[in-house]
Structure 1
Amino acid sequence: MSGSFTQVGEQAWQWLEAAAHYSETDDPAREGVTRRCATPEHHALLEALRDWMEALGMTVRLDNGANLIGRHASPHPEARTLLLGSHQDTVPHGGKYDGIMGVLLPLALVKYLKDNAITLPFHLDVVAFSDEEGTRFSSTLLGSKVLAGTFDAAMLETTDDEGISLGQALEAFGCRPERIAEDAYRPEEVIAFLETHIEQGPQLEREALPVGVVSAITGIERHRLTVLGRAGHAGTVPMAMRQDALVGAAEVIRLVDTLCRETEDLVGVVGKIENAPNGVNVIPQTTTLSIELRSPKDEIRRRAREQLMAQIEDSLTRRGLTFDAQLTYEQAAVACSAWLKGELEDSVRESGITPRVLFSGAGHDGLAMQSLCDIGMLFLRCAGGVSHHPDEAIQPEDLTAAVQVLVTTCRNLARREAAA
């Protein structure tokens, strides 16, 4: 064979190192990678990706949502398509692998197929989604919504910190946002969507496994809760007569933490707090905090919400406090397709790795793509579970293992497609 798994794994590593320098930061190792949608850094990365794709014999196009799509064509023009990919954008000062690794690993897959003259009865479309994180326009899952046909044109009116709208930014990027609806794939032409991504958690590393198979993408809900008390002089109001909103908020934080620790498949956090009047000698009158709950099972998350709100009401009432709670965001959990999950497990096993199934506690492009087709995910371990941080790290040999799993999956899907 003219190309080995090790060789294409090493190529993926080199591509990842090169991609990290298309960033608003100067030193990815120290400052992380900052790459936002429809910026010069995004454009420069896509030019590099285009070069790499075309060198592999792929046809490349930019759609009107700023997604770059490279096709490794099947010898059968009327064949269906397997979509692979992930997002190119990052959080501010993020890591080198979150998102972009899921673009470059499929390119390594294509390189292996090309080097070894392996043909498939379906097309491979590798997608660099324009915007999953929503860092610039709060346009979460922009790219994948375009392909899935669920993009809301109202998103084009959202603006960045400089007042530039998403629509204006896409036009400047060379897109025609008024034609985004034309870029959606048709369900009948797609086999499935498969994403590779770093785990963003510690489980695979703890179990010494290079890859794992994802069962579901978590459901998420966020609340804005304001505890209402009464301000007063901190030196003159007796402790027993106080209505201290911050003390009540502290009790809310404890309740959230305790509930999540005691409930299987539930995680949560209070990540933001605003206190008023916020004086050193004033009893807090209002404290506003965010509450986030996540679970791969929506019934667990919703039941936890009901339990938590009842506990909060009971606790704050006993302290003479009231509260106002608003649900500000809710995204249902999405299960990965059972048949594709099974195919990935078989491919992991055939690659000499013990299959490990785990759920994703973070959101991914599959949340949008499931409206179009069946979805599957393959996780790669990351050091310490660190993500969204310059210290994000993977092992080069895990890229090799992942490419082997992807090649095996494609071979198995080829047999499945031929039998359909």
Structure 2
Amino acid sequence: MIHDAASVMQACDRLAAISARSDGIERVYLSDEHARCHALVAPWFEAAGLMTWQDAAGNLCGRMEGASDGLPAVMLGSHLDTVPCAGRYDGILGVMIALAVVERFKAARHTLPFALEVVGFGDEEGVRFGSTLLGSQAIAGGWNARWWGLEDAEGITLTEAFTSFGLVPERIAEAARRPDALVAYLEAHIEQGPYLEAQARPLGVVTAIAGARRFDVECAGHAGHAGTTPMTMRQDALCAASEAVLAIENAARKHGCVATVGKLDTVAGAVNVVPGLVRFSVDIRAQDDALRDQAWAEITAAFESIGAARRVAFSNRETHCAAAVGCAPELQSAIARGIRSVTGEKEPLRLVSGAGHDAMAMANLTDVGMLFLRCAGGISHHPDESVLEEDVALAIDAMVATVSALAETHKVQIETATV
């Protein structure tokens, strides 16, 4: 039973053992590890008193009815998949905190003017098929038919993976929820940054999630012999790409964005060959989509300038685009109220999330709100992820208080509407 901070931490430890690798945690969408995760976690949902099911997209879902059956729900949750060599808290902690919140209301026999639902999304990270937020996009009604042709590293299509997992691709629309079926979506998550720790604060309110764009870039020059090709005649793709990487950094700083080249490969490279073809990735994010797009326009202009000067050709393909998402003011206020009630802070710290979350997809369906917990060193997507048990306890209490605050507001809205 997941009912307090200690049991939440223990649950995260148990889930860390479900991994495709022996040297770290890796649990990707529609894998054997995904199935083993559900086999472990589903009984925890049921122990919390939730009617439990796996939906048509492979998300694990549970529901506790409110004052009467069939009421719209406040959904709590996060994701159960991981990046390669992951930590044990990113995503997973939010699902376990949600279960602890439900247990608290069940134990108090509290009657709510809405149902409570918990969801463990199947694919937030996008590791296997390269397109993120597949689980939450399905629930939000944003599934794109072109995703069915996506392939993993072994050449297995998403359609084939669905079938192997026991899902029916033709039934994917059944995962989608109606907007009137939800009151709000709330997500607790480790901060993935250093700001809470730097200010010695355990919890914070998320105001927005930065919009992100990702690109695969190719720089084509001309390969040549390293010993016989004069420097003045070279069309070195790697030198051009290196200059482009610095241009990306400079544009991000100028426009107040963050931009990262996380992968760079010299194609068919060798120690004695002038590089003729280089491929690299670009990830660019900002709270303001317009600033992000201005930075990208400047970057592409730099590609053209570098290409002309070095006689190479740049091309790019966009692989991901997500607009910035604002958290609903009402939910920000409710979360801030919850934090104040457990920490005594006069005004909780408000933060923009530079990382993407399932809340971005859910915002197309309902109002979203997020609570951040501090993590040691702001480290995430790494085995060194670390949170304090006492912070988890505060997060559970704050989320309980947040749901209670929403219940008060929702009850008043219902009463007002029926007068």
- Give the TM-score normalised by structure 2: 0.90
* 1:357 match: secondary structure: strand
Report what 1:323 is aligned to.
314
The alignment yields a C-alpha RMSD, in angstroms, of 2.4
Deviation at 1:109, TM superposition (A): 0.6
Unaligned ranges ≥5, structure 1: none
One-letter amino acid of the structure 2 residue matched with residue 282 of structure 1: V
Q: Are the aligned partners of 1:87 and 1:131 in contact in 2 as well (CA < 8 Å)?
A: yes
1:92 aligns with 2:88: no
Report what 1:286 is aligned to.
277
One-letter amino acid of the structure 2 residue matched with residue 62 of structure 1: Q
Q: Which whole-Å CA distance do the structure 2 matches of 1:161 and 1:233 have between them?
A: 32
1:352-393, Cα deviation, whole Å (9 max, x unpaired)? 244111112222112221121111111111222222222221
Q: 2:305 aligns with which of 299, 304, 314?
A: 314
Q: 1:204 aligns with which of 192, 196, 209?
A: 196
Q: Which whole-Å CA distance do the structure 2 matches of 1:279 and 1:173 have between them?
A: 41
Q: Which moved more, 1:404-413 or 1:157-166?
A: 157-166
Report what 1:373 is aligned to.
366
Report what 2:263 is aligned to.
272
Deviation at 1:302, TM superposition (A): 0.6
Q: 1:17 aligns with which of 2, 6, 13?
A: 13
One-letter amino acid of the structure 1 residue matched with residue 349 of structure 2: R
One-letter amino acid of the structure 1 residue matched with residue 300 of structure 2: M
Check 1:249–1:164 CA distance in 2 against 1; reply closer, same or farther (3 A cut).
closer
One-letter amino acid of the structure 2 residue matched with residue 371 of structure 1: N
Q: Are the aligned partners of 2:131 and 2:320 in contact in 1 as well (CA < 8 Å)?
A: no
Deviation at 1:316, TM superposition (A): 4.1
1:335-360, Cα deviation, whole Å (9 max, x unpaired)? 22222122222222232244111112
Report what 2:329 is aligned to.
338
Q: Which whole-Å CA distance do the structure 1 matches of 2:127 and 2:218 have between them?
A: 26
Deviation at 1:114, TM superposition (A): 2.1
1:302 aligns with 2:293: yes
Q: 1:82 aligns with which of 50, 74, 81?
A: 74
1:109 aligns with 2:101: yes
1:307-343, Cα deviation, whole Å (9 max, x unpaired)? 2222333344344444334434322222222221222
Q: Are the aligned partners of 2:255 and 2:292 in contact in 1 as well (CA < 8 Å)?
A: no
Q: Are the aligned partners of 2:215 and 2:316 in contact in 1 as well (CA < 8 Å)?
A: yes
Q: State how 1:377-388 maps to structure 2 within 5 Å.
A: 377-388=370-381
Q: Percent identity?
A: 42
Corresponding pairs, count? 411
One-letter amino acid of the structure 2 residue matched with residue 13 of structure 1: M
One-letter amino acid of the structure 1 residue matched with residue 271 of structure 2: V
Q: Which whole-Å CA distance do the structure 2 matches of 1:294 and 1:345 have between them?
A: 26
Q: Which whole-Å CA distance do the structure 1 matches of 2:303 and 2:167 have between them?
A: 48
Report what 1:195 is aligned to.
187
Check 1:232–1:101 CA distance in 2 against 1; reply closer, same or farther (3 A cut).
same
1:194-250, Cα deviation, whole Å (9 max, x unpaired)? 111112222222222212221222212223333344444444454445443322222
Report what 2:417 is aligned to.
none
Q: Which whole-Å CA distance do the structure 2 matches of 1:38 and 1:229 have between them?
A: 39
Check 1:221–1:350 CA distance in 2 against 1; reply closer, same or farther (3 A cut).
same
Q: Are the aligned partners of 2:196 and 2:374 in contact in 1 as well (CA < 8 Å)?
A: yes
1:262-284, Cα deviation, whole Å (9 max, x unpaired)? 432x1011222233563333333
Q: Which moved more, 1:106-115 or 1:135-144?
A: 135-144
Report what 2:170 is aligned to.
178
Q: Which whole-Å CA distance do the structure 2 matches of 1:164 and 1:280 have between them?
A: 34
Q: Are the aligned partners of 2:210 and 2:325 in contact in 1 as well (CA < 8 Å)?
A: yes
Q: Which whole-Å CA distance do the structure 2 matches of 1:326 and 1:54 have between them?
A: 44
Deviation at 1:162, TM superposition (A): 4.3
Q: Which whole-Å CA distance do the structure 1 matches of 2:154 and 2:305 have between them?
A: 44
* 1:368 match: secondary structure: helix
One-letter amino acid of the structure 2 residue matched with residue 15 of structure 1: A
One-letter amino acid of the structure 2 residue matched with residue 298 of structure 1: D
* 1:195 match: secondary structure: strand
Q: Are the aligned partners of 1:220 and 1:333 in contact in 2 as well (CA < 8 Å)?
A: yes
* 2:177 match: secondary structure: coil
* 1:339 match: secondary structure: helix
